[in-house]
A and B are shown apart, each in its own frame.
Chain A
Amino acid sequence: MSSTWMTTRAWLLMLPLLVVMVAVIGWPLVDTVGLSFTDAKLVGTGGSYVGFDNYTNMLSSSNFSRTLVTTTLFAVVSVAAEMVIGVLAALLLNQQFHGRAILRALMILPWALPTVVNATLWRLIYNPEYGALNAALTQLNLIDAYRSWLGEPATALTALIVADCWKNFPLVALIALAALQAVPRDITAASLVDGAGPFNRFRFVILPYLAGPLMVALVLRTIEAFKVFDIIWVMTRGGPANSTRTLSILVYQEAFSFQRAGSGASLALIVTLLVTVLAVAYAALVRKTAGSAA
């Protein structure tokens, strides 16, 4: 069999996937680019060409810069917390203790819970009048009056991050745990003989094994956190006083609530560009860590 035929055959097998992807993702993306240079409305006429107006208007609006900051804050803090808590949980699960297998099985629960159910659950927990969080903290005498967790800008974003983190740290933990179990026992034993303290042992002996898998989790979670919509839509819809409004919510508002499809498209593409830059930078970092770990 010739290698040209092999390649042709491979392309033929690949074709259905590519056709679907181009039709349902590629074409809309190109269309979005076209839309972004018009003042088209969501329903009705196609709109007329307005050049880069949508982009300049968006980039110069205070809504955009503020929303970008909120989104970045959400992404950075929640992903960082998920990584740290996830690795700590993995280190714990790598120890011997009674009920370890059960605990490891339980870790899958938050991850399996649908995002919307998770958001609804936490909204009930944070309810200012009848929520479990206020009740628990009051009964433990940690606060003396019920508080409005999702109604104060100071706590709303944090409350969202906690809810998001609770759902996602177990995934990081399970990935890290699998990597930990690949660390050869004799290496850790050798470092013990060398008299390395627990911190140094983690930093120099164990972390290199974790770096690769963790980087992948980091990339995926950051991209997801940057695109976040569901949990915020269900819990706060961007309030109070827009303090939890992220880029995806802003695009929704622009394109669907205000029906300005053109300007919504330009904003969506700006978000896409940001995510792409982020992903490319990360990819470079992944290659570097993978190279140094090997």
Chain B
Amino acid sequence: MERRSPAFTIFIHACALLLAAIILAPIAWLFIMSISPAADLAAKPLRWWPQAADFSRYQTLLSTAENSAGAAFTSSLRNSLEIAGMATLAALALAIPAGWAVSRTPAIGWSLSMVIATYMLPPVALAVPLYMGLSHLGLLNNVFGLALVYLTILAPFTTWLMKSGFDSIPREIEAAAMIDGAGLFQTLRIITLPLAAPVMATAALFAVLLAWDEFFYALLFTSDQRAKTLTVAIADLAGGRVSDYGLIATAGVLAALPPVLIGLVMQRALISGLTSGGVKG
């Protein structure tokens, strides 16, 4: 470790405190708003800390009484889970064979580059035909339709991660198994996939986060509780007739909870996933 002057040490700690404050303040405020009485949030000067914590809004939003505002919110929560889950599973199902193929046969790598290049396309460039196509298939306002569209956002990313994962597994291991008489799929199942399990987990988490975050397609392609996702539900809540800012904040906390927990628990995996791509370019 480098020797440091005391002044420098103090400077570093001050900067660290500042950074922590910048990161935490908005998030903390979101949570405080969710438990503050409505009157506190409209007070001037603003009351920064509620006299009595009020968790009733969580109850309101998570209630499942039929035809209530809570039912609308929980159904969007369920839709988001379903769509993210389906799209992620499907993305992995496509990414594992494709990622392995590109990793072992670099000659076809250009096709993956083409797939990844679709990331550049702004969703607005595809929205009109997609809208018409889904409409034709009866998949508008349908969780399967939205999951299918999300699949094309997730798959390039997961394939790329899987490919980097397979790259780090030596071919020799596979070759040895094959010499022992194992077929290709047997080799993959017994040798390669277990070794790639951590990468698969990382890819799945990324996929879930991406799907959870999506807004534009969900805004266009869903119209009610049958398929509306959480992001659209929150935008509707924030734009509609809610005089209580705390309720909007509560919806925000609930929507942020799953990805934030995933982020905190799996941060090491996520960062390595991000940087492995980053470093290799």
Contacts and interface: CB of A to CB of B under 8 A. Distances in A.
Nearest to B215: A230
B209 A112 contact: yes
B65 interface: no
B182 interface: no
Given A20-B94, A25-B152, A31 B129 contact: yes
A16 B278 contact: no
B277 to A, nearest CB: 7
Contacts of A24: 130, 148-149, 151-152
Contacts of A130: 41-42, 44, 46, 245
Nearest to B239: A234
B260 A286 contact: no
How many chain A residues sit at the interface, stated as a range, is 35 or more
Contacts, number: 280
A28 B130 contact: yes
Interface stretch (A48-56, A76-84, A270-278): A270-278
A235 B117 CA distance: 29
B108 A14 contact: yes
B123 A229 contact: yes
Interface in A174-201: 174-175, 178-179, 182, 192
A120 interface: yes
A117 B124 contact: no
B194 interface: no
Given A14-B98, A97-B12, A114 B279 contact: no
A117 B258 CA distance: 13
B235 A233 contact: yes
A59 interface: no
- Residue with the highest number of chain A CB atoms closer than 10 Å, among B33, B93, B220, B231: B231
Main secondary structure of the interface of A (DSSP, over half): helix
Contacts of A32: 125-126, 128-129
A111 B209 CA distance: 10
A279 B128 CA distance: 24
B264 A105 contact: yes
A213 B102 contact: no
A206 to B, nearest CB: 13
A27 interface: yes
A157 interface: no
Contacts of B263: 108-109, 111-112
A286 B101 contact: no
A16 B96 CA distance: 11
Contact of B235 (A11, A120, A122): A120
A124 interface: yes
Contacts of A135: 44-46, 48
B72 interface: no
B47 to A, nearest CB: 9
Contacts of B126: 25, 28-29, 32
Given A234-B238, A275-B122, A16 B16 contact: no
Nearest to B279: A213
A124 B124 contact: no
The 3 closest A-B pairs by CB, nearest first: A112-B263, A135-B46, A10-B105
26 contacts: A6-B105, A7-B108, A9-B105, A10-B101, A16-B94, A17-B95, A20-B152, A21-B118, A24-B130, A25-B126, A106-B24, A108-B271, A109-B263, A116-B255, A130-B46, A179-B275, A179-B279, A182-B279, A213-B279, A217-B278, A223-B119, A233-B215, A248-B122, A256-B220, A265-B125, A268-B128
Given A97-B16, A117-B30, 8 more contacts: A10-B105, A92-B15, A108-B271, A116-B215, A166-B22, A179-B279, A256-B220, A264-B128
Interface of B: 1-2, 9, 12-13, 15-16, 19-20, 22-24, 26-27, 29-30, 33, 41-42, 44-46, 48, 93-95, 97-98, 100-102, 104-105, 107-108, 111-112, 115, 117-133, 148-149, 151-152, 155-156, 159, 184, 209, 212-213, 215-216, 219-220, 230-231, 234-235, 238-239, 245, 248-249, 252, 255-256, 259-260, 262-264, 267, 270-272, 274-275, 277-279, 281
